[in-house]
Structure formats: structure tokens, C-alpha cells
């Protein structure tokens, strides 16, 4: 009992340090994302421009009209979009790992990726309009998850978590087969489809940020409000029920929230893998394992991680741009191997 009390006291003392450290990491990542690029922008000039936009008395922007447009119409929207997508994917990954008690679960577990990929492929192959890819991808992801849940319920509510995972694998396999068939019938669209599948953050201004923000805000709020129940679910369904948790309701609510946010992020940014595994497990390996801290830290650190990954994607081979999904895969593949070796610690 004394050892447990000591561990709890240490976690409470470490919580403010983790909060401050994660916020500093995010601030540094955001600043790096804004400053790094072909056009040089100074830190002081950027700060003054932001203050001028905020209508601070006596402050005017020192940037030229072209530099101002680069900052406000290209870099800032892309950095904010990357932060939203990274935060959502990381928090969704942590949520799935808690709901299914599987340390290797990720945001694409229930067929979101396959559904979004099929939706995007259909939009490219049959409509050929770039602006229809995000809504088509979102619709495909939503349909895939709805079919996964319907199949899981029809198979029985006993061991619902395991059944949902198996149903997700089944639906994902079917949707992937349909996507492959459509691609073979429309080979001329392969390059456009794969450029979306590999993940990218569009530089199209604030419209994608405005589109994504409500979904991320709602999903993140639901997950944050139920993060303590994730700690209870980790002990098992029967034990959680005896502690007063409505296990089916909490599981469904968290899965819907995480999936809704993931579907929205994927529809805008494509299939960016490994974020939902890298970030939560990096936090676990470094210290906090309780979902009370893990979820908010995943949101903040996930945002910073993807912003930095995007900086690498757009500068490593400049003026060419690497798909951001390739960058996260380079980071995620070796990290995934480490997680597999240490997964017993979190199972």
C-alpha cells in the first residue's frame, strides 16, 4: 500500500512538468513550422504580424504584402491543420488502445482507412473533381465503420471488443478489394489516388481547418471527458461493470468519437499512418501510463509531432515534397518494432 501511495504521489508531482514540457514542445513545433520554408520569415516579424492581426494598439506588420500572404494564407493554415490532424490521430490511437485493451491498436482499426480510401478512389475515378475527395473519403470511412459495428452487433454482444476488431478486419479487406478493382479499371487515376493515400497536408488556406475543427473539437472533448473511464476499462469489462461503469455505452461512445474524428482527419489529410501508435507509446515509455494524463498529452504531443513531420516532408527534398505518410512510416516502422517488444508492459 505504501509503495502504491508513493507511485501515486510521484505521478501527481510529475503531472505539471509533463504539461509544461508538452506545451513547450508544441510551441516549438508550431514556431518551426511557421518559420521554415523557401521564403525567410524572422521570428520577430512573425510575432509582430500576429499582434497586428490581433489589433494590438500601436503594432503594425513589418512584412511585405507577399510575405504576409505566405504567412497567413499558406504556412499558418498548413501548420494549424497539421496540429489538428496529429492531435486527433494520436488521441484516437490512445483511445482505441484503452477501449480494446490492445497496445497495438490504431485509429484505422475499424475500417476507417479502407473506407476512406475507397471513397477517395471512387471520387477520383468517376467524378474527377478534387474538391469532392474529402467528403467522399469521409462518407466512405463512415460507411465502413457503420458496417463494422452492424456486423459486430449481429455476431453477438459477448466479447464485443474482440468481435469489433474482427469485423473491422473483414470490412477493411472487402473495401480494399473493391478499391483495387476500381483502380484496375481506371489505371489513369492511380497517381492521383496514391498521392492522397500516402498522406499530405494541403496548402489550400483556412477552408480545410474550418472544415476539420468542429469534428476534432467534439471528438476530443468526448474523449477527454471519458478518459478516467478508460483507466477503469483497462482492468476488464466485468471488473469495470462492478465499479459502476456502463461498459457497452462507454465503449460505443468512445469508439464513435475517436472514429468520427479520425474519419474527418483522414478525409482532409489522407492516410497518415503510425501517429496513433508512435505518440501514445512514446509517452508511455517515457513515463505516464494513466489515461487521465495520456489522452491530453497525446493531443498536445501528437499535434507537435505531425507539424514537425510535415516540416521534414516539405524541406527534405525541396523543392519536391515527400508525402507526409512516408515520413511518419520512416519513424513508425522501427518504433513499431520497439513497441511490439515492450507491449507486455501495457497489455
**Between 347 and 321, where is the model more confident?**
321
- CA quadruple 79, 85, 86, 88: dihedral positive or negative? positive
Residue of 110, 116, 304, 141 whose CA lies nearest to 193: 116
Rounded to whole angstroms, the Cα distance separating 153 from 250 reads: 16
C-alpha cell at 164: 469489433
- Using pLDDT thresholds of 50, 70 and 90, give the confidence band for residue 157: low
Q: For residue 5, is pLDDT > 50? A: no
Q: How far is CA 253 from CA 80, 189, 223, 224, 230, in A?
A: 27, 37, 9, 12, 12
Q: For residue 51, is pLDDT > 80? A: yes
Average pLDDT of the residues in 264-283 = 91
The pLDDT tens digits for 52-63 are: 888 888 888 888
The pLDDT tens digits for 191-202 are: 888 888 888 888
pLDDT given for residue 45 in this prediction: 86
Percentage helix, strand, coil, to 5, in the chain? Answer: 80, 0, 20
Task: Please tell me the pTM assigned to this model.
Answer: 0.89
Q: For residue 1, is pLDDT > 70? A: no
**Between 227 and 130, where is the model more confident?**
227
- Using pLDDT thresholds of 50, 70 and 90, give the confidence band for residue 162: confident
- Residue 69 φ then ψ, to 5°: -65, -40
Mean pLDDT of all residues in the chain? 86
The string of DSSP codes covering 15-80 is: HHHHHHHHHHHHHHHHHHHHH-SSS---HHHHHHHHHHHTT-TT----S-HHHHHIIIIIIHHHHH
Average pLDDT of the residues in 124-138 = 84
- Residue 318 φ then ψ, to 5°: -55, 135
Rounded to whole angstroms, the Cα distance separating 84 from 87 reads: 5
DSSP secondary structure code for residue 345 in this structure: G
Average pLDDT of the residues in 151-173 = 78
- Using pLDDT thresholds of 50, 70 and 90, give the confidence band for residue 7: low
Rounded to whole angstroms, the Cα distance separating 15 from 285 reads: 15
Q: For residue 147, is pLDDT > 80? A: yes
Q: For residue 160, is pLDDT > 70? A: no
Amino acid at each position: 500500500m505504501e509503495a502504491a501511495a508513493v507511485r501515486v504521489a510521484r505521478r501527481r508531482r510529475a503531472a505539471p512538468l509533463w504539461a509544461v514540457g508538452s506545451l513547450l514542445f508544441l510551441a516549438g513545433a508550431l514556431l518551426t513550422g511557421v518559420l521554415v520554408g523557401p521564403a525567410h520569415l524572422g521570428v520577430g516579424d512573425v510575432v509582430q504580424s500576429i499582434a497586428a492581426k490581433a489589433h494590438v494598439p500601436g503594432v503594425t506588420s513589418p512584412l511585405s504584402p507577399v510575405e504576409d500572404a505566405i504567412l497567413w494564407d499558406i504556412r499558418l493554415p498548413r501548420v494549424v491543420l497539421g496540429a489538428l490532424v496529429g492531435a486527433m490521430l494520436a488521441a484516437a490511437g490512445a483511445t482505441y488502445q484503452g477501449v480494446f485493451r490492445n497496445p497495438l491498436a490504431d485509429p484505422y482499426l475499424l475500417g476507417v482507412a479502407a473506407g476512406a480510401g475507397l471513397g477517395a478512389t471512387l471520387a477520383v475515378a468517376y467524378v474527377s473533381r478534387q474538391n469532392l475527395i474529402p467528403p467522399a473519403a469521409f462518407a466512405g470511412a463512415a460507411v465502413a465503420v457503420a458496417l463494422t459495428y452492424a456486423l459486430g452487433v449481429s455476431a453477438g454482444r459477448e466479447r464485443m471488443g474482440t468481435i469489433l476488431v474482427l469485423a473491422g478486419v473483414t470490412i477493411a479487406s472487402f473495401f480494399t478489394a473493391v478499391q483495387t478493382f476500381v483502380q484496375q479499371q481506371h489505371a489513369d487515376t492511380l497517381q492521383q489516388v496514391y498521392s492522397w493515400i500516402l498522406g499530405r497536408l494541403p496548402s489550400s488556406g483556412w477552408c480545410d481547418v474550418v472544415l476539420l475543427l468542429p469534428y476534432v473539437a467534439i471528438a476530443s472533448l468526448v474523449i477527454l471527458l471519458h478518459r478516467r473511464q478508460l483507466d477503469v476499462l483497462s482492468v476488464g469489462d466485468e471488473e469495470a461493470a462492478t465499479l459502476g461503469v456502463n461498459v457497452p455505452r462507454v465503449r460505443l461512445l468512445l469508439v464513435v468519437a475517436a472514429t468520427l474524428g479520425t474519419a474527418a482527419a483522414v478525409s482532409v489529410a489522407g492516410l497518415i499512418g503510425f501517429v496513433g501508435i508512435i505518440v501514445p507509446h512514446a509517452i508511455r515509455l517515457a513515463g505516464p501510463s494513466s489515461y487521465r494524463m495520456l489522452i491530453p498529452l497525446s493531443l498536445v504531443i501528437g499535434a507537435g509531432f505531425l507539424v514537425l513531420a510535415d516540416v521534414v516532408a516539405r524541406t527534405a527534398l525541396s523543392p519536391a515534397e515527400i508525402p507526409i505518410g512516408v515520413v511518419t512510416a520512416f519513424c513508425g516502422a522501427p518504433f513499431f518494432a520497439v513497441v511490439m517488444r515492450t507491449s507486455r508492459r501495457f497489455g
